[in-house]
Every structure is written in C-alpha cells, then in structure tokens.
C-alpha cells in the first residue's frame, strides 16, 4: 500500500480517487505520520468480515470428537504413575 503526503494527495486527488475506486487503497500522511487510509466504498468494513463459520459445510466433526482416542490418553497418564 502506497503512502502519500498531504501535498501530493491534494495535487493528485483525482488520480488517487480513481485508483482507490479500482481497489488500490492508499494512506495519506502528515509529516511522515500516517493519518488516514483511503479505501473503496465497496470494501467490507472490518465488522462485516465473517470469520466464524467460514468453512461451514466444508468439514465435518465426528459426534464422538470429545471422546476420540480416550483409551490411549488414559493409558498415557496411568502408565506414568
């Protein structure tokens, strides 16, 4: 992501807005310190990004998942005593 200082951003605003509209986000900085990030309007907000369930219906969890290999685990702990 490219960073522009305020002066350059003002000078090339039309071009930068067109780039952002095409999906090329950029940052505007003041005295080298990033101030704002410009992104296209169709970009999902961070709160809109779906994280949980992103693999729904692509994997399956066995019904006995919480008891899988229970005998071996018990043996591992009993053998150490």
Grade residue 64 by pLDDT with cuts at 50, 70 and 90: confident
Question: Which residues is 3 bridged to in the sheet?
Answer: 27
Domain spans, the chain: 2-79
- Say what the pLDDT of residue 80 is: 59
Q: What are the tens digits of pLDDT across the range 51-63? A: 677 777 888 888 8
pLDDT tens readout for residues 5-61:
999 999 999 999 999 999 899 999 999 999 999 988 876 666 666 667 777 788 888
Instruction: Give domain 2-79's CATH architecture.
Output: 3-Layer(aba) Sandwich (3.40)
- Count Cβ atoms within 10 A of the Cβ of residue 9 and give its class: 0-12 exposed, 13-18 middle, 19 or more buried: buried
Among 40, 44, 13, 12, residue whose Cα is nearest residue 24: 40
pTM above 0.85, yes or no: no
């Amino acid at each position: 992501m490219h960073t522009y200082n305020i002066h350059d951003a003002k000078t090339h605003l039309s071009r930068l807005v067109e780039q952002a509209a095409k999906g090329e986000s950029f940052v505007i900085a003041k005295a080298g310190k990033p101030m704002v990030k410009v992104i296209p309007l169709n970009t999902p907000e961070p709160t809109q990004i779906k994280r949980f369930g992103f693999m729904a219906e692509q994997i399956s969890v066995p019904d006995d998942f919480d008891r899988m290999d229970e005998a071996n685990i018990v043996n591992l702990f009993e053998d150490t005593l």
